[in-house]
Structure formats: C-alpha cells, structure tokens
Amino acid sequence: MSISYVDPMWGTVDRVHFLRISKHFTCNCQRCSDPTELSTHVSSIRCQQAGCLVNSNKAKGLIAPEQTEEKEWKCNSCNEIYPPVYFMSIVEKAGRELEKLHQKYGNIEAEEEFLRKFGKILSPNHFYLLEVKLGLAQIYGRTQDEPLPILSPKKLCRKLQLCEELLSVFDVLLPGTLLLWNFIFIKKKHSIVHFRLQSFKSPHPLRKTGSYGCFFQDEESSGRDLLPETQGGAHCKQIK
C-alpha cells in the first residue's frame, strides 16, 4: 500500500524536490528511481537527430533525465549525448510558455498550438503536454457554442483521442482507484456515448452498415486522420 504526498502528474524532479523540502525525505520508490518513470517518459524530451525525429514515438528517440549530471544523458535510440543544461533549457522554455497559456484557459486553438509546437521537442507523454491534454479533453464539448451533443465528429474524435492518450499514462502511473483516473475514464465513456448518439442522428445511420460507416462521409477533413493507433482511432478508422 502506498500514499502519494505529491501530485503524481508532476515529473520526478519536481516531485523529489517537493518531498525533500516539505516532507524531508528522498523518495526511492520504483518510479522515482527510474529516469523513464516506468517507461512512460513523462519527464523526457525528444532527440533532435534527424533519424530519431522521424521515428520517435512514446518509447523511442527520447532522452530521459538521469539523476546526476555525471551520468550521460543520452537518446535511447541513437545514443546521442545531450548536456543536462540543454535539457533543462528546453523544459524551462516549455514551462514559461505553459504559464502564458494558463492565461488563455479555454482557448482550444492556443492549447492545440502548444501541443503541436512542444510535441516536437518534448516526449509525447511529457507532463507539460499531459496537463494541456487534460484541460483540452475537458474543454471539447463544453464550450457554449459547441456543447457535447452537437460537437462535430472531428472534435469528438479529438476528445476521444486525448482521453485515450491520457488513460495510457494514467494506467501506469496512477492506481485505478484515484479520482483523476476515474474522472478521465468517465469522460471517455461519456464521449463514446455521444459518439454513438450522433451517428444515429446522422443522415446515414450506423445501423445500415453495422459500423461507424458513412458517419464521416460528407466531412472533408474527418477525425480518422487524427487517430492512428488509439481505440478511439479504431472507431474512426472503420469509416471508409
């Protein structure tokens, strides 16, 4: 049995620092001792070597912060070594931009732009990106002009994708009993329900094809491009 004194969404550096100054101990749990944080890479950045940039994913082409500066901080694919100071400067820059973004809370376009921009230099599961994704997963379908029942299929797919991405990290880092996990799980279910409801309301109903077929027929830019590997993606990819 374990109790977390600190926000599990923070990266190791922040958690360890907080515990040292507030609780006066150094945590040696499995996650805190592992630079990859149980292979989630929530504190890692992306390698900028050309080959790695093309092929990097949630597990590869990433640099995890070592616990000391004496160790080499290197890419887990090409072994390129990165100076810790470079690593920190990237994370600090993202942190400053995120603070500016907080002043625009609810601005979907600004939040998506942050994900696009910093998705190129931070690990896909980096805690700064997770924070923005968590906000976005809630905002989609809750704006005045586009409440969930009339949310466009493309945005509905995006909401689902965000829920899937968050869940894949929470499954590892947060025990299933935590409120946050349940919250996202419920949100995801909620989205799926509305997804189905909408498909029945569409002019080409689901029951004709037994799948989500036709649902996006008239959408020039549908959500299927957005969702390569997630379960939500599978829903959208069934549409031919």
Q: What are phi and psi of 51, to 5 degrees?
A: -60, -40
**Residue carrying structure tokens 């376009």:** 109
Tokens (6 digits) for 91: 């994370």
**Site residues for Zn ion, window 79-98 (CB under 5 A)?**
80
Strand pairing class (45-46; 62-63): antiparallel
Q: Does 27 bind Zn ion (CB under 5 A)?
A: yes
Helix (H, G, I), strand (E, B) or coil at 46: strand
Q: Which amino acid is at 120?
A: K
Angstrom distance (rounded) from CA 46 to CA 44: 7
- The nearer residue to Zn ion, 27 or 172, going by C-beta atoms, is 27
Q: Does 48 bind Zn ion (CB under 5 A)?
A: no
Q: Does 139 bind Zn ion (CB under 5 A)?
A: no
Options 45, 47, 173, 184; binder of Zn ion; rule CB under 5 A: 47
Min dist. Cβ of residue 77 to Zn ion (A): 5
Q: Does 59 bind Zn ion (CB under 5 A)?
A: no
Q: Does 77 bind Zn ion (CB under 5 A)?
A: yes
Span interacting with Zn ion, options 32-40, 99-107, 183-191, 217-225, rule CB under 5 A: 32-40
Min dist. Cβ of residue 199 to Zn ion (A): 42
Tokens (6 digits) for 8: 């599990």
CB atoms within 10 A of CB 239: 20
Options 6, 8, 49, 115; binder of Zn ion; rule CB under 5 A: 49
- The nearer residue to Zn ion, 84 or 213, going by C-beta atoms, is 84
C-alpha angle 106-135-184 in degrees, rounded to nearest 5 = 140
Q: Kindly list the residues in this chain that would bind Zn ion in the complex (CB under 5 A).
A: 27, 29, 32, 47, 49, 52, 75, 77-78, 80
